[in-house]
Amino acid sequence: MKFHRRLDSMVCLRGLAFFFAGTLFLMPSLAARAQQNQDEEVERVDADLVVLNVTVTNERGDYVHNLKRSDFHIFEDNREQAISFFGVQETPFAAALLLDTSGSMENRLSLARSAAIRFLDGLRPDDAAAVYRFDTEIEQLQEFSPSRDLAPLAYGTRADGWTALNDAIIRAAGDLAQRPEKRRAIVVLSDGADTKSRASADKALVSALSAQALIYTVDMTPPEASMQNRQAAAAALRNFASKSGGRFIASAGGQALRDAFSGVVEELSNQYTIAYRPTNRARDGRLRTIDVKLTHPNAVVRTRKGYRAPKG
């Protein structure tokens, strides 16, 4: 097996640092292993500081702006937590865009490139995005920058090889962990069927969570694929999105896909970043639930549902 990097080795992830009231809050490196059961809606995160990127909409789906720290109430295991950091929706973001270039994407690659262009076109001056391709190997086509142009390398890419989706997410998470932006995202365009990764989906998810990255997934499975393959692809992509606090997009192709990508950029530009230090400091490896409540009436909140405490 040829592989661009040894992604099964431990990924060194820097902590996420926040300055608030003259105090530096550091996110320690990941130490706990992935929870083996993918059906659980929480993941294991070794952190003294719990960071949430929160999307708030009204019942019509419009983003709710101008909320204050006092409007949010964070509960861990039904106990309210003191908010340590509060970032407004204008906070810049860093995104890693992952293009599936495996053989199964042969008839969808041009559509994926078109969607990537639409995503980059929505970047604000302070945002940064990098572009990767993945098949049997993983390659960074474009370094993190505010550029709205897709790198020429992306146009010369052909669909070939197997699908190392999990390993690609780990690579992107490792790079995002080194970014200064507090808001981070991994955007995946794929048919979702991992056929080559050395790492498991659990390990990929934990890597993204430890980098505080939401995962947005776009299902590029072709209509002619079997029902079994379509269902398996959708399940894999939904798992990454729902457990990280991102969003799953069932691609209809064409303009609908391009509009969906514009929606991802808009969502990342309209989130709140909130952090707290848990009052429960026990390193017991137990599941802890997170619930975010707002004083704002009729608000709909989306963020990750919890985490698993470090052990030992």
163: containing domain: 93-268
Looking at the structure, do residues 114 and 257 belong to the same domain, yes or no?
A: yes
Are the CB atoms for 265 and 214 separated by under 8 Å? Answer: no
Residue 133: the pLDDT is 94
Q: Is residue 3 domain-resident? A: no
Q: pTM for this one? A: 0.78
Residue 244: the pLDDT is 87
Q: How far is 41 from 23, CA to CA, in rounded Å?
A: 32
Q: How far is 167 from 35, CA to CA, in rounded Å?
A: 17
Total tally of structural domains belonging to the chain:
2
Looking at the structure, do residues 205 and 178 belong to the same domain, yes or no?
A: yes
Residue 42: the pLDDT is 44
Looking at the structure, do residues 186 and 289 belong to the same domain, yes or no?
A: no
Looking at the structure, do residues 52 and 142 belong to the same domain, yes or no?
A: no
Give long-range contacts, CB 8 A cutoff, 24+ apart: 109-113.
109/157, 109/158, 109/159, 111/220, 111/253, 111/254, 111/257, 112/189, 112/220, 113/150, 113/154, 113/155
Looking at the structure, do residues 125 and 251 belong to the same domain, yes or no?
A: yes
Q: How far is 28 from 34, CA to CA, in rounded Å?
A: 16
pLDDT digits 0-9 by tens, 171-203: 999 999 999 988 899 999 998 778 989 999 989
pLDDT digits 0-9 by tens, 256-283: 777 777 788 888 888 998 999 999 999 8
Residues of the chain with pLDDT under 70: 1-47, 89, 252-254
Are the CB atoms for 121 and 148 separated by under 8 Å? Answer: yes
